[in-house]
Amino acid sequence: MYNRLFEKGHIGSVQIKNRIVMTAMTTGYAGLDGTPTEQLCRYYEERARGGVGLIVTEIFRVNQVHGVAFPRQLYALNPMNIQPLAQMVDRVHQYGTKIFAQIHHGGSTNSPELNNGRIVAPSAVPNVSGIMPDPLTLEEIEELKQQFIGTAAACQAAGFDGVELHGAHGYLLCQFMSAAFNKRDDQYGGSIENRCRIVTEMIQGIKYVCGKDFPVAVRISCDEHDPFHPDSITLEEGVQIARILEAAGADMIDVSNGNYFVPYGENEEPYSYSEGWRAPETTAVKQAVNIPVTGVSNIKTPDCAEKLLEAGVCDFVGIGRGSIADPEWGRKAARGRNDLIHHCIGCLYCFESLMAVGYVRCSVNPQAGREAAFSRRMRKNKAGDKVTVVGGGVAGMEAAATLAKRGFTVTLLEKENELGGELNLAGATAPYKNKVSWLRTTLEEEMKLAGVNVLTGCEADVETVKKLEPRAVFLATGGKPIVPDLPGISGKNVVSAYDVIRGNVRPSGKVVIVGAGLTGLETAELLFRNGEAESVTVVDMLEKIGANMYPSIFIDVTHQMEGKPLTLRAGMKLKEVTETGIICDDLANGKEETITADCVVLAMGIRSDNELIRQFEEAFDRVIPLGQTHRNPGRIATSMADGYIAARGFDPKV
């Protein structure tokens, strides 16, 4: 079905079994000593088993003095680390998958706190936080080159099939190649050939030490898209850089773009970025060189990957977050089962969790970050015990499918006429949010294959569930919208954000939205798309609008409303709703303020339905609350994890 995707390919002397490359992504799973933990080994092993042709690992640091980008980062220059790295490589190789080590230095993007209070760069150009780095001396550059070359040699000793130099995204090697950040007047600055010199000398050094048949790939930003630095890399220069690197002996160019000054998060690609959006730039590089090109372009589906390969955009397709979302992306594509792939939906929970807790997790894959913990096969229920799942949202569908795969006889009851729950709302706020609906389709198909008995349009009260005689009830009915007990809150001019998203009401005129989380801001975006709102004011009692949102998601949503009559007010606590608007307490100055509005939309979040839980717990011995009825309501990630973890470990005898 995907003929080009599953053709063999070559990078230098190394044959790759297909055209799927799992591109490098920091996970936070490595040990503090730079060795791969069991979790990291299991993570890569699962992706190799799942059909990836080539894995490019997360970043290896090259020194401990000014090269620390992340606390848990691979490190090969300690001889004691070679054996555990070799064991990780062996676990990947057993499935016929090749593995390259990505070698990296963050330059001025590194944190002084992790680098003895000092960060370095080609030149004294402030980083995105305004911190001034120290320019590298010629002696430090020579030492750095030897550390990159030494890291490559150590990785070769550990059995890696090749290495990739990270020269993209505004990190050190990218900074050297970019005239915006390289102001040197020696042999490493000035002309584009000089700016590329540190990379070309690294390539040549690695080839000299490791042999000409040891592949060296380079990841580049072919266009930095940086509006703040006029001298940043443009596509024309990016093409020149690719040619220079090829001439120096590079075996593959991994094409990306952007740096950390890019204002709209294109290095992370939230919901609104379309599949294949980088294709024109990747094509320009592909047409300029004779070595293989890997294209990363927000590729989420096998259909997109196949089209890019057929069109000659690239030789290999980079499936990064798609591999986190589903380690069996390749195997499912090979079987023609796109409907069973847990596609990346662009929610950026992987980035959010990395920043919040230090390691990657995934909204649509509850096993991501838990591969080692869940390495044993799930216990089968040979008796076929009956279990009822109440609620056909994310948590309910994931629990039902997992229980059925274990051998339980599962009935799922959903009061609406269709499955999906909050997924249906999340996917309805904007056309680009249709990616969210992919998860519903996949979960429905998984339940079908597992044999779950699904009853929609069925109100599941206690008496209805009793008739099914279940050994346990998994309660995943969702939470209730928060409606504070305030004067005027029941007025005719007050509606729920959920009713707006469902299309039950279409506010017009001046609208005020109470609650500036993701739901509130996406409701504002929807109102502007509908074209009936004269203006929208979003208020929140927190000190910052979108305080609980991942920054790139917040930027992406608000960017969609640029130029619209949108007002965002933080520190405003709702006090009363009137016929002509709302009255708030301005928490910053303690004064009362009136905001005029024709319609008031409540988007204040969801709370657990504790009364429903109590009713079921009184009627049944085993009740397992999930998702929004349990904790952290409204998150796909926690709902998926709740459903999977509870269903995976459930024992009717305990």
**How would you class 384 by CB atoms within 10 Å of its CB: exposed for 0-12, middle for 13-18, buried for 19 or more?**
exposed
Phi, psi of 516 (to 5 degrees): -110, 35
**Terminal CA-to-CA distance of the chain, rounded, Å?**
46
Residue 386 CB: number of other CB atoms within 10 A?
15
What's the gap between Cα 336 and its chain centre?
Answer: 24
Total count of residues recorded for the chain: 654
The candidate with the shortest Cα–Cα distance to 423, out of 414, 431, 415, 434, is 434
- Secondary structure of residue 502 in the 3-state scheme: helix
What's the gap between Cα 166 and its chain centre?
Answer: 20
Q: Which two tokens stand for residue 32?
A: 């503090």
Rounded to the nearest 5 degrees, what angle is found at the Cα of 429, between the Cα atoms of 428 and 431? 75
From residue 265, alpha-carbon distances to 275, 282, 429, 483, 609 in Å are: 15, 19, 20, 34, 36
Among residues 2, 43, 44, 171, which one is catalytic? Answer: 171
CA–CA dist 91, 96 (Å, integer): 10
CA–CA dist 277, 255 (Å, integer): 12
C-beta of residue 360 within 8 angstroms of C-beta of residue 27: yes
From residue 93, alpha-carbon distances to 88, 184, 375, 389 in Å are: 9, 43, 19, 41
Phi, psi of 567 (to 5 degrees): -120, 130
CA–CA dist 554, 508 (Å, integer): 24
C-beta of residue 61 within 8 angstroms of C-beta of residue 69: yes
C-beta of residue 174 within 8 angstroms of C-beta of residue 237: no
Across the chain, which distance is largest between two alpha carbons, in Å? 82
**How would you class 499 by CB atoms within 10 Å of its CB: exposed for 0-12, middle for 13-18, buried for 19 or more?**
middle
- Secondary structure of residue 380 in the 3-state scheme: coil
What's the DSSP call for residue 518? H
- Secondary structure of residue 509 in the 3-state scheme: strand
Q: 């259909």: which residue's tokens? A: 303
Q: State yes or no: is 171 an active-site residue.
A: yes
**How would you class 125 by CB atoms within 10 Å of its CB: exposed for 0-12, middle for 13-18, buried for 19 or more?**
middle
Radius of gyration for the alpha carbons in the chain, expressed in angstroms and rounded: 27
The number of CA neighbours under 13 Å toward the Cβ of 538 is: 26
Residue 113 CB: number of other CB atoms within 10 A?
9
C-beta of residue 508 within 8 angstroms of C-beta of residue 533: yes
C-beta of residue 479 within 8 angstroms of C-beta of residue 609: yes
Please give the positions annotated as active site. Answer: 171
